[in-house]
Amino acid sequence: MAGGIGAKQVDVTWATEESGLLCAISVKTINWRDGTTKNYQKNLTNRRSDLLIESVTLHRRFPYAVLFGLFFLNSGAQHDGTEQRRSTWGNAHPRLKLFTGRNDPAGRDEQFERLYIILVDASPFHATAKAFEVGDPDHQVTFESIVDQLIRQVAERNPDFYEYEDGKLIRVRS
């Protein structure tokens, strides 16, 4: 996808010829403990930088685009803290909070409209995933609500072309 400061590959995009980029979803992961520290924090700073570059690049070229970020963390990240350091889970929320909550197309380029942390337990016999909006680690959200929020924001940013109705994006007929 062409961006404002260079091309950027993003995991999921929806663009039209008439509107350009309508929405994008960026997926980032940290799945493995660092061999030395035994925690998941080693690449937290790198993933944050990746999110920053994606958001700035896309919002500069497409200020009305709705950008969502999904940051998948191994569920062990909730419990890898020590006496000297909070858990990766505890550190991720405040470190990523600055990059979420862009509600206006004229808002900060570095912010995603919404950014979520998803805790994944991918054990072979029972996999689970729990989603939380960045900055609110005490309130789990459903994946349906994440998709619903994305659809609502696309409709709000593109009222000449789309409306939100009963959880669906409906094309406006002129």
**Is residue 2, in this structure, part of any structural domain at all?**
no
Instruction: Give the mean pLDDT of 76-87.
Output: 90
Q: Which domain holds residue 55?
A: 12-171
**Is residue 7, in this structure, part of any structural domain at all?**
no
Instruction: Specify the number of domains making up the chain.
Output: 1
**Is residue 4, in this structure, part of any structural domain at all?**
no
pLDDT digits (tens, 9 = 90+) for 7-51: 667 889 999 998 899 999 999 999 888 888 878 888 888 899 999
Model pTM? 0.91
Enumerate residues 6+ apart whose C-beta is below 8 A from 6.
57
- Confidence class of residue 75 from pLDDT cuts 50, 70 and 90? very high
